[in-house]
Amino acid sequence: MQLGLINTLIIDRFTPPGAFLRDTEGNEVLLPQKYLLDEFELEQEIDVFVFKDSEQRIVSTTEKPHLLLGEFTYLKVTQIQPIGAFVDWGLDKNLLVPYSEQLYNLEEEESYLITLKHDEKTDRLYGSMKVKNLLEPCVEDMKGQKVDLLICEYNDLGISVIVNKKYDGLIFNSNIIADINHGDEIEGYIEKVREDGKLDVRLEPITVQKYDLAIDKILSLLKRKGKLHLTDKSSPEDINSALGMSKKTFKQSIGKLYKWRKIKLHKEYIELTSQPTSGDTT
């Protein structure tokens, strides 16, 4: 059985402290009484997370922590102690992030990007902020692809992101068109794969599909509200707040809609034409 991962184990016997589970090699671990369900029976296979309790005894739980071995996510600091910081990872016993694994001083009640690691010498699980070491350079052509993003920290150039849980990426300041915060998990699009394997990322599609999506969004809002108090003179902030798109995308989209006679342009707002005509949106 492996510490820090979900293990499929067999119920070997029931005792007052709980059930003892075994793996295929005969190793045993306790599943405490509070995790037992009425439907559990001898020789049944169950999935449990294996870790060490506060007395460094190997135990298991049917609860799943916020991260498994080798994964990373944002976790909140619950305590600062002389040996390091403790973070809430979804189990009764908080996870220790030793000072040697911190990139800078942590503060209680704040959340930080943490990965779960295993020290083979001491056979203990611990948290680490050294997440970048787990990321790999991208060697495939991903330009234009939709990807999953984990929003990380702001820096002078923009905001760093982790792409598809394995690549290092960056959204430049000029491309931050939505209110995003560290810990957010959203979708984005690859603009460029750099020579070092890092990725430039945008929040909007890179291809013409961007305008199709933007046009659909504008039309949907207009059909629901009747008019939209935005024009090509509106500020980028107002457009982003209302639509979650850049001013450039908005201007080009309403330009197409006006050309297709789907909308009327006014000084302070836009609205649908009374009888929209069909137009080619490709």
For the segment 86-101, what is each residue's pLDDT rounded down to a tens digit? 999 999 899 999 999 9
Query: According to the model, what pLDDT value does residue 277 have?
Result: 46
Q: CA 126, CA 86: separation in Å to the nearest integer?
A: 10
The residues near 205 (Cβ < 8 Å, ≥ 6 apart) are 144, 146, 189, 213
**In this structure, are residues 247 and 204 in contact, taking their beta carbons and an 8 Å threshold?**
no
Q: What topology does CATH give the domain 146-202? A: OB fold (Dihydrolipoamide Acetyltransferase, E2P) (2.40.50)
pLDDT at 222 > cutoff 60: yes
Which pLDDT band holds residue 133 (cuts at 50, 70, 90)?
confident
**Start-end ranges of CATH 2.40.50.140 in the chain?**
6-61, 72-132, 146-202
Query: According to the model, what pLDDT value does residue 37 have?
Result: 93
Query: According to the model, what pLDDT value does residue 212 have?
Result: 76
pLDDT at 232 > cutoff 60: yes
Per-residue model confidence as pLDDT tens digits over 27-69: 999 999 999 999 999 999 999 999 998 888 899 999 999 999 9
Query: According to the model, what pLDDT value does residue 213 have?
Result: 77
Question: CATH: 1.10.730.10, 1.10.10.60, 3.40.50.12780, 1.10.10.10. Which one for 209-272?
Answer: 1.10.10.10
Q: CA 74, CA 52: separation in Å to the nearest integer?
A: 22
Question: CATH: 2.40.50.100, 2.40.50.140, 3.40.50.300, 3.90.1330.10. Which one for 72-132?
Answer: 2.40.50.140
Q: CA 237, CA 246: separation in Å to the nearest integer?
A: 9
pLDDT at 280 > cutoff 50: no
Terminal Cα distance for the chain, rounded: 55
Query: According to the model, what pLDDT value does residue 208 have?
Result: 55
If phi > 0 it is left, if psi is from -120 to 50 it is alpha, else beta; for residue 47 that is beta
Region 207-232 average pLDDT: 82
Per-residue model confidence as pLDDT tens digits over 158-199: 999 999 999 999 999 888 877 888 899 999 999 999 999 999
pLDDT at 279 > cutoff 80: no
Query: According to the model, what pLDDT value does residue 148 have?
Result: 96
DSSP codes, 113-136: EEEEEEETTTTEEEEES--GGG--
pLDDT at 113 > cutoff 50: yes
pLDDT at 242 > cutoff 50: yes
Query: According to the model, what pLDDT value does residue 281 have?
Result: 43
pLDDT at 278 > cutoff 50: no
**Start-end ranges of CATH 1.10.10.10 in the chain?**
209-272
Region 112-140 average pLDDT: 93
Q: CA 79, CA 109: separation in Å to the nearest integer?
A: 8
pLDDT at 72 > cutoff 90: yes
Model pTM score: 0.70
- Look up the CATH architecture of domain 6-61: Beta Barrel (2.40)
Region 111-131 average pLDDT: 94
